[in-house]
Amino acid sequence: MIVEDYRRITCGGDPFNYLIGSLKGLYFDTDSNVEVKLILDSNRFNYDIEKFIKILDYTGFNLIEYKKNEDIELRIRKI
């Protein structure tokens, strides 16, 4: 499993665009059978599960698991 921790990122622009760009890059760096765990700051990436599903679908990933506490954890796999 690959772990991508985006809790401490500093992006000058919109976090939404940062996430889209990061996932597009991750798509080319992973194989279909590899799970990826994304850890996100729930304040910076304050989206509901439906928004994450749309983002993941757009970037070529399936959502396996969603957890939201202080942080957001997404387990995803390439389509």
Taking only the tens of pLDDT, the chain with its 79 residues reads 999 999 988 767 788 999 999 999 999 999 988 999 999 999 999 999 999 999 999 999 999 999 999 999 999 999 9
Name the residue ranges covered by the structural domains of the chain.
2-71
Nearest one of 8, 3, 1, 78 to 38, comparing CA atoms: 3
Model pTM? Answer: 0.89
Q: Which residues of 10-32 are buried (b: 16+ CB within 10 A; e: fewer)?
A: eeeeebeebbeebbeebeeebee
